[in-house]
Structure 1
């Protein structure tokens, strides 16, 4: 019983103390894993929770609308690697910033509009 209360308290403290999703996911996963599987479950839960907590949040609706309606650049972008959410774009791909929300940028690759986090170059969402 003490373990369950301690795990629940750790989850609440971590959730309020950290804005980082991966950290919160790790602590929450460890707490849940400890409840279900003891010390081994805590380790497994921390790894799974960290991965799930590190998932990129979708952009706001106004960013998606802007990227959908923005004119396509004159040059075609070709990327050799498969473009997928969470993966970083190559450094030679030019990311166009979203004017009203500099936290996001976009690239048009073929027929897909790709919303990107400019600092990390990670793909946030792919619009078909």
Structure 2
């Protein structure tokens, strides 16, 4: 393999691993527990909810007490952790 091909392979492998790292978020335990315990109605949405993308405007983001960096929503029967400032999906709880 020539140097140029090796450089391209390295860039692609590095980009792929950083994308994976960005989707792994360690939430405080109380955030996950709080969200799982809430009896919040689910919003039906035709599209897909994707980590790293904002939730649609029709989705109401609920605050989590004492956790200003996290909010949550329930979409298509799935609980979704959201950054309340950007409305970006941080994690989908299964």
TM-score, length-scaled by structure 2: 0.72
Greater Rg, structure 1 or structure 2? 1
1:46 equivalent to 2:17? Answer no
CA distance in 2, matches of 1:99, 1:63: 9
**Shift of the alpha carbon at 1:92?**
2.7
After superposition, what is the alpha-carbon deviation per residue over 1:9-68, rounded to whole angstroms, capped at 9, x for unaligned?
xxxxxxxxxxxxxxxxxxxxxxxxxxxx84333322332233223224132211000001
Question: Which stretches in structure 1 are left out of the alignment for 5+ residues?
Answer: 1-36
Please provide the CA RMSD for this pair.
2.3
Q: Identify the structure with the greater helix proportion.
A: 1
Deviation at 1:121, TM superposition (A): 1.9
Instruction: Provide the aligned length of Structure 1 versus Structure 2.
Output: 90
CA deviations over 1:62-120 (Å, ceiling 9, x no partner):
100000112315xx522121223333211231100111111111112243222112223
| Residue 69 (str. 1) matches residue 69 (str. 2) | no
Query: More strand per residue: 1 or 2?
Result: 2
What is the TM-score normalised by the length of structure 1? 0.57
Are 1:57 and 2:25 an aligned pair? Answer: yes
